[in-house]
Structure 1
Amino acid sequence: MFRTTKSQKYIFTLVTLIYWISMYIYVPTFSPYLNSKGFSLQFIGIVISSYGLVQLLVRFPLGIWSDRFGKRKPFIVLGMLCALISCLLFLLSGSWIWPLAGRIVAGVCASTWVAYTVMYAGFFKTEQTGRAMGNISFVTVSGQMIGMLLSGWLADGFHANMPFIIGAAAAVLGLLLALFLQEHAVNDRQGMSLANVKEVVKTKLLWRVSYLSILAHCVLFITMFGFTPLKAEALGAGGLELTIVVFAFMLPHAVASFITATIFVPRFGQYGTIMISFVLSGICTAAIAIVPSLELLYVTQAVNGFAQGLHLPLFLGLAIKEVASWGRATAMGLYQAVYAAGMFSGPFLAGFLNQQWGLGSGFALGSVLALAAAIFTAIWAGQERKRKKKLPAEMPSSLQG
């Protein structure tokens, strides 16, 4: 950990906010935009899922490189540059390759999130990791919400390309601000050796959290970041209604990420909070498929957004909880690479099901995955309780269930 000035924290927070705005300013209108261009639901699923596939391939090696060099800033700058390039690619027309290429570059951009989370965690003491991840999750969701709220208004009030134009402009601003970030080398070892990587990879808690996060991101990228906007359109939504759908999901999502560590975890424990969130998410995701009106869709989004906001910050903190500072980017890279499998497979499978059996089948898949995650959480919570009982009374557990 290194001491940092308030101005540096403000710059970092602003860069993080802009980073997410530039990536999510087109998300609510993206699948309708592709649909309006005549692309099939299956191709839309492929484009959306390519974002996760790239992260699956890139995040882990990026985390290792960050730990090897003991630097986070170069990867943050890279992320802002990729945000700019991806928005510019979406503005190109005439071929299916451009939206696919733009989403692939956006996946590289999102892969640099490894560096953001680890750099921010370094501002806090180790025992404050949960609080740090709650804070940065709140900034993350706030940036996503601002971008997504602007999306429908820009597309409906100006032009379908306007979200990409404003996203590119935001990325330029974020890139300039990122150049003013300062950091010290955080690695107390001479690079990341293969033995160091193996030490991190053997962390049991890291893998459990990663598996649950795969399922969580399957649900997230099937719903709000995938096909929920198409459901809203099928119910008659225009730009204003899409904005309401986004607001209904993202505001509770932001609130939940901010209060989960202070209100829910003290009362229900970490595993209990995660189970509750998955059950609620599964019920609401199933409901999306059958709601007959926009008003009821708003309700499902509010509850689903809150539920998904409960577990995602906990996963971030748990992923690096048992890892030393020198290996945190590696651990975070592995965690984020593994859950990217959900960002890829969720919309890919849902796109195929939607093409064959209608839009509701993808939401049914998301519901089943959420409930499966709740079952896995219950099983691991039971195993953890048994493990604690076997520990000597004077020995503290390294896990907080």
Structure 2
Amino acid sequence: MHDPHSERMSGSETRAASGLSLVFAFRMLGMFMVLPVLATYGMDLAGATPALIGLAIGAYGLTQALLQIPFGVISDRIGRRPVIYVGLIIFAAGSLLAANADSIWGVIAGRVLQGAGAISAAVMALLSDLTREQHRTKAMAMIGMSIGLSFAVAMVVGPLLTRAFGLSGLFIATAAMALVGIALVAWWVPRSAGPLAHRESGVAKEALGRTLRHPDLLRLNVGIFVLHAVLMSSFVALPLALVERGGLAKEQHWWVYLTALLVGFFAMIPFIIYAEKKRQMKRVLAGAVAVLLGCEVFFWLTDGTLHELVLGTIVFFTAFNLLEASLPSLISKVSPAGGKGTAMGVYSTSQFLGAALGGILGGWLFQHGGLNTVFLGCAALCGLWLIIAVTMREPPYVTSLRLPLSPAAVRDAGLVERLLAVAGVTDAVVVADEAAIYIKLDSEKLDRPALDALLEARADT
């Protein structure tokens, strides 16, 4: 038995976090690996047009957006594992359908089916079931890192796999990774006692209306929508620009993405530290959006030598990585107490819808106006986002806390008011169904002795 208050993750918690992070990573790797290669290799497929290539790039986002919240709700009722197994089998089936396709429509159908294996919410909920309160943020961060790493690996491995085995080989590798994911869940991830009722790990119907009406959450949802729309649109055009303008053979694109992602990853770290330590997240966010806008304008205005395109790609990925890392942190800060799970569900849906629209829009713009029209369209989206970003308020620099309540404390009508009167406590909500209270607090302004005294009194009731 492990100590429930231990500062270190137990062995079973480490296995849960590492196993589910790998499940996420393998699945996202399969989603992302086609990005750098579909625009160049996909034109060899029967019936391929730029518009249909764009649809194939973004198609997974449509079914992912539609099904990820329903899959999460179903997992509350029938269990996490059955939903995850079914989702990974659907994903593998979509990969095999795309691998055996000889036309662009077969690849589109495969990508739609891939997206239908929408297990994100169920995986996050299972992670919450298997980790204690004090380690949940750390475990969630491991999954976040695995997604970022899978994107970086996909940008490099996608072109290398496709060069060696063609598009069909790429999709077969994706199916194999889904099957490895099933094995990890079956034999590595520990069993849970059952689904936990936990508002921070899933969508709560009661919190949905408030989340959809929250002005700053709406701004952040628009932000992730635009970020992934711009990413998908850019990958309709950027691989072709490297071939047509930079004279770089499609088999050599991997080193451009490897360089851009490595430099971009290390270049963003000082900005993340500055944003958190100096409490300047709004400034850093708006600055990164402005840089993204500048990159799209640069791609639009210049015919670009290879060196210019590589430099532009490096700056693009620095801004992209910074925004991709900052937005979930902002969602966590801005969401109401007890509403982070719901806010993240809406945020993820916005992300997948952006990916779907971005691929479709990028392909359509390229077919009707060429490379420059795609970059101009992306610049327009970034410009819209910049206007929205500069009008947001500086986010509260708060952390979240969830504490169990005794039956008497749940019935204490004045508990929330007394907590809100403590300096540094910004929000609190009692959830009777969970016999718990969710608190948001600013650690720099917090009157810790007053909070501790109040919580000790609560524990004694």
- For Structure 1 versus Structure 2, the TM-score category normalised by the shorter chain is 0.7 to 0.9
What is the Cα deviation at residue 297 of structure 1? 1.5
Cα-to-partner distance string for 1:274-333 (whole Å, 9 max, x where unaligned): 1121111111122223242222222111111111111223322333443566x6544322
Structure 1: stretches of 5+ with no match in the other structure = 386-390
Please give the secondary structure, in 1, of the residue aligned with 2:304: coil
Distance of 2:40 and 2:373 partners within structure 1? 18
**Any residues of structure 2 matched to 1:2-401 within 5 Å, and which?**
4-37=12-45, 38-66=47-75, 68-69=76-77, 72-109=80-117, 111-117=118-124, 119-120=126-127, 123=131, 125=133, 129=137, 134-180=141-187, 181-182=189-190, 183=192, 184-187=194-197, 194-195=205-206, 197-198=208-209, 200-224=211-235, 226-234=236-244, 235-252=246-263, 254-255=265-266, 261-267=272-278, 269-289=280-300, 290-321=302-333, 322=335, 328-381=340-393, 394=423, 396-397=425-426
What is the Cα deviation at residue 44 of structure 1? 1.5
Task: Select the structure that is richer in strand.
Answer: 2
Distance of 2:304 and 2:349 partners within structure 1? 37
Distance of 1:83 and 1:257 partners within structure 2? 32
- Decide which moves more: 53-62 or 165-174: 53-62
Cα-to-partner distance string for 1:37-74 (whole Å, 9 max, x where unaligned): 251111212222322222332233334444x4395444
Residue identity in the other structure for 1:112: I
Structure 2 length-normalised TM: 0.73
- Decide which moves more: 137-146 or 285-294: 285-294
Residue identity in the other structure for 1:293: T
Residue identity in the other structure for 1:288: F
CA contact (8 A) 1:134 1:313 kept: no
Distance 1:333 1:159, change over 3 A: same
CA contact (8 A) 1:83 1:168 kept: yes
Distance of 2:340 and 2:394 partners within structure 1? 27
Distance 1:103 1:193, change over 3 A: closer
Distance 1:287 1:337, change over 3 A: same
Distance of 2:64 and 2:395 partners within structure 1? 31
**Higher relative contact order by CA 8 Å / sep ≥ 6: 1 or 2?**
1
Please give the secondary structure, in 2, of the residue aligned with 1:381: coil
Distance of 1:153 and 1:103 partners within structure 2? 20
CA contact (8 A) 1:115 1:329 kept: no
Distance 1:193 1:370, change over 3 A: closer
Residue identity in the other structure for 2:242: A
Distance 1:217 1:188, change over 3 A: closer
- Decide which moves more: 159-168 or 256-265: 256-265
What is the Cα deviation at residue 361 of structure 1? 0.9
Distance 1:293 1:369, change over 3 A: same
Distance 1:384 1:25, change over 3 A: closer
- Decide which moves more: 92-101 or 215-224: 92-101
CA contact (8 A) 1:256 1:307 kept: no
In structure 1, the partner of 2:409 is: none
Identical residues among aligned pairs (%): 21
Distance 1:125 1:397, change over 3 A: same
Distance 1:353 1:124, change over 3 A: farther
Alignment RMSD, CA only?
3.5
Distance of 2:121 and 2:384 partners within structure 1? 27
Distance of 1:241 and 1:192 partners within structure 2? 43
What is the Cα deviation at residue 153 of structure 1? 1.7
Cα-to-partner distance string for 1:231-271 (whole Å, 9 max, x where unaligned): 22223332442102321343345446777654433235222
